[in-house]
Amino acid sequence: MTFEPTSISGAFVVGVERHRDERGFFARTWCRDEFAAHGVEGDMVQASVSHNHHTGTLRGMHFTWRPSKEAKLVRCEAGRVHDVTVDLRPESPTYLRRVALTLDSREHTALYIPQGVAHGFQTLMDDSVVLYLMSDIYRPALAAGVRFDDPALGIEWPVPVTVVAERDRGYADFDPASHLLQYSAAAA
**Residues annotated as catalytic (active site), given as ranges:** 62, 132
Q: To which H or E segment does residue 25 belong?
A: strand 24-26
Q: To which H or E segment does residue 179 belong?
A: helix 176-187
The 3-class secondary structure across 35-87, one letter per residue, is: HHHCCCCCCCCEEEEEEECCCCEEEEEEEECCCCCCCEEEEEEECEEEEEEEE
The bridge status of strand 117-123 relative to strand 57-64 is antiparallel
Classify 183 as helix, strand or coil. Answer: helix
Are the C-beta atoms of 25 and 19 separated by less than 8 Å?
yes
CA–CA gap between residue 74 and residue 9 (Å, rounded): 17
CA–CA gap between residue 38 and residue 105 (Å, rounded): 24
